Amino acid sequence: MGEILITEPVPPIVIDDLGELLIYPTIEMTCLEVETIDAREGVLEAFDSEGRRLELSARGEVVSLAIRSGSGPDPAELERRLRLYIRPEWLPKMGLANLDGIPLSEMLQSLLEYERDEASTSRQGWGRGAIAWLRRSVLRSRR
């Protein structure tokens, strides 16, 4: 039997915007939410659920993503970023006591559900997006 070659990113997709992680349940939602200027300027780092680095690009006003060529999976790096990002006070709402021994897939799913619940009960998602946009604007102005 031959090996199965995965050529599409496997959701959820994680975008690292200068330490602020944004998690999207689908490729389509990621491409709709990422701003074209950010995709063009390469200010965001992206990973699929298996830790593969993704390349964001924009053509006109359309954002697309693909697995970065020559990039193997690095689930440990994605897990490291998630552990730095997840705040201890979120854990009870994520249904977790702590992150010890939690597999990457469960961490991603719990965070995705937590952020979905938080976005439906507050404007936090919009606020985080606005803060990230301001941070990128300041960095651009310093170049």
The whole-angstrom separation of Cα 34 and Cα 88 is 27
The whole-angstrom separation of Cα 127 and Cα 140 is 20
Residue 104 · residue 79 · CB < 8 Å: yes
Please tell me the total count of domains within the chain. Answer: 1
112 within a domain of the structure (yes/no): yes
The whole-angstrom separation of Cα 46 and Cα 33 is 13
Domain range for 136: 13-142
Q: How confident is the model at residue 71 (pLDDT cuts 50, 70, 90)?
A: confident
Residue 63 · residue 39 · CB < 8 Å: yes
6 within a domain of the structure (yes/no): no
**pLDDT beyond 50 at 45:** yes
Give CA torsion, residues 80, 8, 65, 60, to 10 deg.
Answer: -170
**pLDDT beyond 60 at 6:** no
Q: Tens digits of per-residue pLDDT, 9-40? A: 999 999 999 999 999 999 999 999 999 999 99
pLDDT value, residue 126: 47
90 within a domain of the structure (yes/no): yes
More confident residue, 49 or 120: 49
Tell me how far CA of residue 95 lies from CA of 42, 56, 90, in angstroms.
34, 32, 9
Q: Which two tokens stand for residue 136?
A: 């990128």
pLDDT value, residue 117: 85
7 within a domain of the structure (yes/no): no
Q: How confident is the model at residue 123 (pLDDT cuts 50, 70, 90)?
A: very low
49 within a domain of the structure (yes/no): yes
135 within a domain of the structure (yes/no): yes
Positive or negative, the Cα torsion across 119, 121, 126, 132?
negative
Report the mean per-residue pLDDT for the chain.
85
128 within a domain of the structure (yes/no): yes
